[in-house]
């Protein structure tokens, strides 16, 4: 039998060694792991969930308008030119009368009533526009819009043509020079034209190959589609 002090010393030594052995055993003991496999996505599966077509808001485009100055075929027979409103359909004649009445009043705000009563806002510019009347004033040579109203009367009092008959672009166009071959203009027609534009304006348009001054287009149903200048 060991002496008491030796027994106690031996017990203390065992207690000191035991935790270290246990730790080494724990480190040496392999940890059981399990590999989890994730199935790859299907080749045709979209990365982003598809949104139903009926859930996407779409903007309805207005009726097609003359977005650019039309290039007239110089080899084609010139269109028939009309004057006044005798040969116009009633809806077209009514819109022309409303525009003339507003223009001759000298109050450009009268044009707001005509534009707002229209089926769609007509094309007044190929750029951005906030308020149509303010835009017309800014386009005029004076702050009150008198010049643009005068141009409007000159256009609607000039001859007109009926173009693109039977198509979605069918239109009554003022002045007829916008759809008339320049090379086929008679001396009398050129005098009519110079009541609206200057010789310098015409020379520029002739070199460009299209009428780029103001023009008006009214559909057969009386809808004003454009009162615009430019190309």
Mean pLDDT of 116-138: 92
Closest CA relative to residue 212, chosen from 226, 195, 228, 225: 228
Confidence class of residue 13 from pLDDT cuts 50, 70 and 90? very low
Give the span between the Cα atoms of 161 and 106, in whole angstroms: 27
Give the pLDDT band (50/70/90) at residue 40. low
Q: Is the pLDDT confidence value at 47 over 80?
A: no
Closest CA to 83 of 10, 156, 171: 156
pLDDT at 53: 46
Structural domain harbouring 164: 90-228
How many structural domains does the chain have?
1
> Residue 128's pLDDT is what?
87
Domain membership flag for residue 107? yes
User: Residue 69's pLDDT is what?
Assistant: 64
Residue 63 within a domain: no
> What pLDDT does residue 35 have?
55
Segment 69-90 mean pLDDT: 86
- Judged against a pLDDT cut of 90, whether residue 21 lies above it is answered with no
Is 39 a domain residue?
A: no
- pLDDT per position as a tens digit, 86-120: 999 999 999 999 999 999 999 999 999 999 999 89
Report whether 126 contacts 117 (CB < 8 A). Answer: no
Looking at the chain, the whole-number percentage of residues with pLDDT higher than 90 is 62
pTM for the predicted model, two decimal places:
0.70
Q: Can you give the pLDDT at residue 231?
A: 76
Mean pLDDT of 7-17: 44
The whole-number average pLDDT for the span 122-136 is 93
What is the predicted pLDDT for the residue at 72? 74
């Amino acid at each position: 039998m060991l002496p008491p002090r030796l027994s106690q010393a031996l017990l203390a030594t065992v207690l000191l060694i035991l935790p270290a052995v246990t730790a080494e055993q724990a480190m040496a003991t392999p940890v059981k792991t399990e590999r989890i496999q994730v199935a790859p996505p299907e080749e045709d599966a979209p990365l982003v969930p598809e949104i139903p077509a009926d859930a996407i808001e779409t903007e309805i485009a207005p009726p097609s308008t003359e977005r650019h100055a039309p290039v007239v075929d110089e080899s084609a027979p010139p269109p028939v030119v009309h004057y006044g409103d005798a040969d116009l359909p009633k809806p077209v004649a009514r819109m022309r009368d409303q525009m003339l009445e507003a223009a001759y009043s000298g109050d450009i705000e009268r044009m707001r009533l005509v534009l707002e009563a229209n089926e769609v806002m007509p094309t007044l510019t190929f750029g951005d526009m906030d308020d149509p009347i303010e835009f017309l004033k800014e386009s005029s040579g004076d702050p009150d819009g008198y010049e643009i109203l005068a141009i409007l009367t000159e256009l609607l009092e000039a001859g007109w043509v009926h173009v693109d008959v039977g198509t979605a672009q069918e239109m009554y166009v003022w002045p007829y020079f916008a759809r008339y071959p320049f090379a086929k203009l008679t001396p009398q027609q050129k005098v009519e034209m110079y009541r609206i534009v200057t010789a310098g304006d015409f020379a520029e348009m002739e070199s460009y190959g299209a009428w780029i001054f103001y023009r008006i287009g009214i559909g057969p149903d009386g809808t004003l589609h454009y009162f615009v200048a430019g190309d």
